[in-house]
Amino acid sequence: MYEFISSLGVIGYFLIGVLGLALWKLRKLWKLRSPLDSLQHKAWRNMGGLEHPDHLDPPNDR
């Protein structure tokens, strides 16, 4: 294991850092984009959350 880590070099450490940063950003983005965290859902839950939210109904194009 030590031999592998020491053989990576600067490019290997850079790639591991970029990959780690990308995974961290994707995890944060996924948490922020959760549908249950949207302002519409928060307002719906604060009002009791008993009725079907209007924004989830299909659009009436006819």
Residue 26's pLDDT is 81
Q: Does the pTM of the predicted model rise above 0.75?
A: no
Q: String of b and e for 44-53 (b: at least 16 CB within 10 Å)?
A: beeeeeeeee
CA 15 to chain centre: 22
- Per residue in 11-48, pLDDT (tens digit) is 888 999 999 999 888 877 766 666 666 677 777 667 77
Task: State the pLDDT confidence band at 54, using cuts at 50, 70 and 90.
Answer: low
Domain residue ranges in the chain: 14-45
Residue 9's pLDDT is 85
Residue 19's pLDDT is 92
Cβ-based neighbours of 31, under 8 Å, separated by 6 or more: 37
